[in-house]
Amino acid sequence: MVATAGVFVALVCLWAAYFGGGENVVTTTVAATGSDALRTVRFGVNSAYLVVAALVALAVGSELLIAHPTGHGSVTLALLLFGGPLLYFATTAWFFQATARGAWVEV
């Protein structure tokens, strides 16, 4: 039960980070600076591939954790459970650094 709740909280946090209004920051920055919109879209598509890979890693780790909550941990399980969100946030940070000069949310 605790494992399921932990996975749910992690997914809600990732969801909030993804849909937290970052698209407005990127749109405003591109419009204000006259940046290449095609470059921004290309970065967005490339980062989406990495975000999906990160979510798949977290999903696989979550499935293993929920299926065997009292099982022994392993390096693979730790990499899936913690590496997935780490890749997710690293990719998102890279995207906002490359497109919105590091701004993640509107101030």
- Mind listing the pLDDT tens digit for each residue in 46-102? 999 999 999 999 999 999 888 888 878 889 989 998 999 999 999 988 888 888 776
CB 40 within 8 A of CB 23: no
What pLDDT was estimated at residue 105? 57
pLDDT surpasses 80 at 27: no
Q: What is the pTM of this model?
A: 0.80
CB 95 within 8 A of CB 43: yes
> CA nearest 106: which of 20, 19, 37?
20
